[in-house]
């Protein structure tokens, strides 16, 4: 397994619109596996390829309640309802805010076998999927906040990052996992 460095707020790749995948090959399947490994190692529930420095339309989501979801060239076909809930982002550690999202979405995606399929998601899963698809369009959850709230959190971010260089966070496997086996 490979744990990939995560790009942090300020890294230009987070603002890129990721390019379509089209045919699923082994390179894409490897990327999906690395995204899951990196997300789980960093205790996340979603991770998009932009966040590991690859602007391609691939993301993964895994909430506690639901099976893992692979998103390849995902498109939201339907949205219903509105719900507000707290979000964070592995690319913006220690920053959290309430974000409005659709409560239910119908998503079309390509599977690891290269087939297009549709599924419905609600609540936290729907929220995580919308957050990850935003990443593929270069959009961060901060962009959904009021200008005032956004400025406040950007200031907090600069304080937290003071004295640290670069935009990469290196993930290591938690030591408890080694000691357990
Ligand atoms: Ni994120």
**178 lies in a domain?**
no
152, part of any domain: yes
Residue 50 belongs to a domain with what CATH number? Answer: 3.90.45.10
Residue 181, in any domain of the structure: no
Task: List the domain range (segments joined by +) for residue 140.
Answer: 6-169
Residue 95: CB atoms within 10 A of its CB come to 18
Q: How far is the CA of 181 from the centre of ligand 1 (A)?
A: 31
Q: What is the pLDDT of residue 179?
A: 47
Instruction: Tell which residue, 95, 2, 3, 7, has the closest CA to residue 50.
Output: 7
Can you list the residues of the chain whose pLDDT is less than 50? 175-176, 178-180
Let me know if residue 42 belongs to a domain: yes
Which ranges constitute the DSSP H helices of the chain?
A: 26-41, 123-136, 147-161, 175-180
The pLDDT score that the predictor gives to residue 157 is 96
78 alpha carbon to ligand 1 midpoint, in Å? 22
Q: How far is the CA of 109 from the centre of ligand 1 (A)?
A: 19
| Alpha-carbon span 55 to 96, nearest angstrom | 24
Q: What is the DSSP letter of 28?
A: H
What is the tens place of the pLDDT at every residue in 142-178?
999 999 999 999 999 999 999 998 899 998 876 445 4
- DSSP class of residue 42 equals T
Residue 30 located in a structural domain:
yes
Q: Is residue 17 one of the residues assigned to a domain?
A: yes
Coil, strand or helix: which one is 77?
Answer: strand
How far apart, in whole angstroms, are the C-alpha atoms of residue 156 and residue 20? 34
Rounded to the nearest whole angstrom, what is the distance from the C-alpha of residue 5 to the centroid of ligand 1? 14
Q: Could you tell me if residue 176 is inside a domain?
A: no
User: Which residues have a catalytic role annotated?
Assistant: 132
Going from the Cα of 48 to the center of ligand 1, the distance in angstroms, rounded, reads 7
Q: 100 - beta bridge partners?
A: 84
Angle at the Cα of 52 (from 59 to 160), degrees rounded to 5?
115
Instruction: Tell if the pTM clears 0.85, that is, is over it.
Output: yes
How many separate domains does the chain show?
Answer: 1
3-state secondary structure of 99: strand
Query: How far apart, in whole angstroms, are the C-alpha atoms of residue 181 and residue 176?
Result: 9
């Amino acid at each position: 397994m490979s744990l990939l460095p995560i790009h942090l707020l300020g890294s230009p790749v987070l603002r890129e619109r990721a390019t379509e995948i089209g045919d699923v090959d082994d390179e894409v399947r490897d990327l999906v596996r690395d995204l899951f490994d990196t997300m789980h190692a960093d205790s996340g529930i979603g991770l998009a390829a932009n966040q590991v420095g690859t602007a391609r339309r691939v993301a993964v989501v895994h909430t506690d309640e639901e099976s893992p979801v692979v998103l390849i060239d995902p498109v939201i076909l339907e949205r219903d309802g509105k719900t507000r809930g707290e979000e964070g982002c592995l690319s913006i550690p220690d920053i959290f805010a309430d974000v409005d999202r659709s409560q239910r979405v119908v998503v079309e995606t390509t599977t690891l076998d290269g087939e297009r399929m549709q599924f419905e998601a609600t609540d936290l899963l729907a929220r995580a999927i919308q957050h990850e698809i935003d990443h593929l369009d270069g959009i961060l959850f901060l962009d959904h906040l009021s200008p005032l709230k956004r400025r406040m959190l950007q200031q907090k971010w600069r304080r937290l990052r003071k004295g640290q260089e670069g935009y990469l966070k290196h993930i290591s496997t938690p030591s408890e996992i080694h000691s357990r086996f």
